[in-house]
Amino acid sequence: MLWLKILAGITVLFALFCLTRLGVRIDLGDIVSADVTFGFLHFRVAPSKAEKKKPKEETMKKEPKDLTKTLKKIQSPTLKDLKTAYQILWPPSERALRRFGRGIRVHPLTMSLTLAGKNDPAGAAEAYGDICAVMWAVMPPLEELIDIPKPSLHVGVDFDAADLRVRGQVGVSLRIGTLLAMGFDLLIPGIRWFIKFQKAHKQDEPKPDQKAETPPAAA
């Protein structure tokens, strides 16, 4: 029957789609760039080629966009948020990785994180200890669950710096079927953490109509 042939064709196409490998590579530096691979196809998603080929006059008027500006607009999670994310997401993530983890490859994984300690040396030192504790607690079991050849991670504190510095390269590749399966396992815990994150930072930015009133001048 025709409908059986159509169903068989859809099934074969879906199976091939699930077996296709999807990869993402992010380079962190002064400019954040990202590349995506889909099977044999390769795409540069940020910064785009069109932005790179702008004339010099336009470049002087308007700087090229890159992921760095986009990331600055996103609410950065605090250390407390990261701890909550670990408590909520790690148990289901570990279960999902035990089932599908060997189909995930993380290469390269080179990361250098330098905390700024100029404004708050004690806070930077405390954050350094917490990040190192989390890193050494997570990385050994993670390396057993997924394929991470030759990871290189470094965390430091610069007490003369006022801004956080992040440098490195991160590449992740996996089959789309593996991604879909893990996504279903992590969907509900991920939504729970996102709702808590949004509630915790809902009042961080003041509303536009709430402006500070200037005190009247003294007579």
Q: Tens digits of per-residue pLDDT, 90-136?
A: 788 878 888 888 888 999 999 999 999 888 889 899 999 999 998 88
Contact 112, 168 (CB under 8 A): yes
pLDDT at 210: 46
pLDDT at 114: 92
Determine the Cα–Cα distance for residues 131 and 37; give it in Å rounded to an integer.
31
pLDDT at 219: 42
Which SS3 state, helix, strand or coil, does residue 75 take?
coil
Over residues 12-54, the pLDDT tens digits come to 998 888 889 999 999 988 888 899 998 888 888 877 554 555 5
How does residue 203 score in pLDDT terms, banded at 50, 70 and 90? low
Residue 64: count of CB within 10 angstroms of its CB: 15
Over residues 146-196, the pLDDT tens digits come to 899 989 999 999 998 888 899 999 999 998 888 888 888 888 888 887 887
pLDDT at 182: 82
How does residue 207 score in pLDDT terms, banded at 50, 70 and 90? very low
pLDDT at 4: 86
- What φ, ψ does residue 72 adopt, rounded to 5°? -70, -25
Over residues 60-88, the pLDDT tens digits come to 444 445 555 655 566 666 777 777 777 78
Structure tokens at 29: 């530096």
Provide the residue type at 171 as one letter: G
Helix axes 176-200, 2-19, angle to 10 degrees: 70
Pairing of strands 21-28, 165-175: antiparallel
pTM tops 0.75, yes or no: no
Structure tokens at 216: 């009247």
CA 43, 44, 46, 51 torsion-angle sign = negative
Determine the Cα–Cα distance for residues 165 and 185; give it in Å rounded to an integer.
33
Pairing of strands 41-46, 33-38: antiparallel
